[in-house]
Structure 1
Amino acid sequence: MYLLYLDESGHSHDPSSNFFVLAGFSVFERQTHWLESAIDPIATRFNAENPSAVEFHGAVMRAGKEMWHGIPPADRVQAVVDILALLSNPQLKVRVFASVIEKSLLHQDQILSKSFENVSSEFDKYLASMYLKKNPQRGLVIFDKTSYEEKLQTLSHFFKHQGHTNGKLRNFAEVPLFLDSKASRLIQLADLVAYWIFRYFQSGDDRGFKLIQPYFHSYAGTQCGLIKMVSAETEQRLQSLPENAYPFPSPTPLNRAQP
Structure 2
Amino acid sequence: MFVDESGTHGGPHPFVLGAMAIHEDDAALMQKALDDLVVRHLSRVPVNLEEYELHASEMRNAKKPDETRTGRASIWANVDRPLRLALLADAYKLVVNFAPTNPKLPIVLFGVAVEKAFHSAWSEQERERFAYEVLLGKFDVMLKTLRRRKLPNRGLVIHDRRVVAERDIQSWVTAWRATAERIGQLRNLADVPLFADSRATRLLQVADLVSYAIFRRYNAPANDSTAFDLMWPAFHTESGVTHGCVHYTPSYRQGACQCAPCEQRLKAEAARSAKPSGAKLSTKEPIGPTSRTRIRTRVLHDAREGE
Shift of 1:109: 2.5
Question: Larger relative contact order (C-alpha < 8 A, sep ≥ 6)?
Answer: 1
Q: Give the match for residue 181 of structure 2.
A: 164
Contact 2:26–2:100 (Cα < 8 Å) also in 1 = no
In structure 2, what is the equivalent of residue 16 of structure 1? 11
The answer to whether 1:5 aligns with 2:2 is yes
Q: 2:21 aligns with which of 17, 26, 47?
A: 26
| Alpha-carbon shift at residue 236 of structure 1 (Å) | 4.7
- 1:91 corresponds, among 91, 100, 119, to 100
In structure 1, the residue matched to 2:279 is: none
Correspondence for 1:230: 249
Which letter maps to 2:11?
A: S
Partners of 2:12 and 2:210 in 1: how far apart? 17
Query: Structure 1, residues 192-222: CA drift from partner, whole Å, max 9, x if none?
Result: 1111110011021011111111111011111
- Distance in 1 (CA, whole Å) between partners of 2:155 and 2:259 is 33
Letter in 2 for 1:189: V
Look up the match of 1:123: 139
Deviation at 1:226, TM superposition (A): 0.7
- TM-superposed CA distance for 1:235, in Å, is 5.8
Residues 51 and 75, structure 2, Cα contact 8 Å, conserved in 1: no
Q: How many angstroms apart in 2 are the aligned matches of 1:145 and 1:74?
A: 29
CA distance, structure 2, for counterparts of residue 182 and residue 91 of structure 1? 23
One of 194, 199, 203 as aligned partner of 1:177: 194
Gaps of 5+ in 2: 64-73, 261-307
Query: Which residue number in structure 1 is paired with residue 75 of structure 2?
Result: 67
Q: Distance in 2 between matches of 1:235 and 1:110?
A: 25
Q: Which residue of 1 aligns with 2:274?
A: none
CA offset at residue 85 of structure 1?
A: 1.3
How do 1:80-159 residues align onto structure 2 when only pairs under 5 Å count? 80-86=88-94, 87-91=96-100, 93-106=106-119, 107=122, 108-146=124-162, 147-159=164-176
Gaps of 5+ in 1: 240-259
Residue 41 of structure 1 is matched in structure 2 by: 36
Higher Cα Rg: structure 1 or 2? 2
Residue 217 of structure 1 corresponds to which residue in structure 2? 236
More strand by share: 1
How far residue 81 of structure 1 moved from its aligned partner, in angstroms, is: 1.4
Between 187-196 and 56-65, report the one with greater CA deviation.
56-65
2:215 is matched with which residue?
A: 198
Residue in structure 2 matched with residue 243 of structure 1 by the alignment? none
Identity %: 29
Shift of 1:238: 5.6
Query: Aligned equivalents of 1:136 and 1:10: distance in 2?
Result: 34
**What SS does the aligned partner of 1:140 have?**
coil
* TM-fit CA distance, 1:48: 2.3
| RMSD, matched Cα | 1.9
- Report the 3-state secondary structure (helix = DSSP H, G, I; strand = E; otherwise coil) of the residue aligned with 1:178: strand
Query: Alpha-carbon deviation of 1:141?
Result: 0.7
CA contact (8 A) 1:124 1:169 kept: yes
Return the offset for 1:29: 0.7
Q: TM-score, normalised by structure 2?
A: 0.72
Tell me how far 1:145 sits from its aligned partner.
0.9
**CA–CA distance in 2 between the matches of 1:70 and 1:89?**
29
Identify if the C-alpha distance between structure 1 residues 235 and 88 changes in structure 2 by more than 3 Å, giving closer, same or farther.
farther
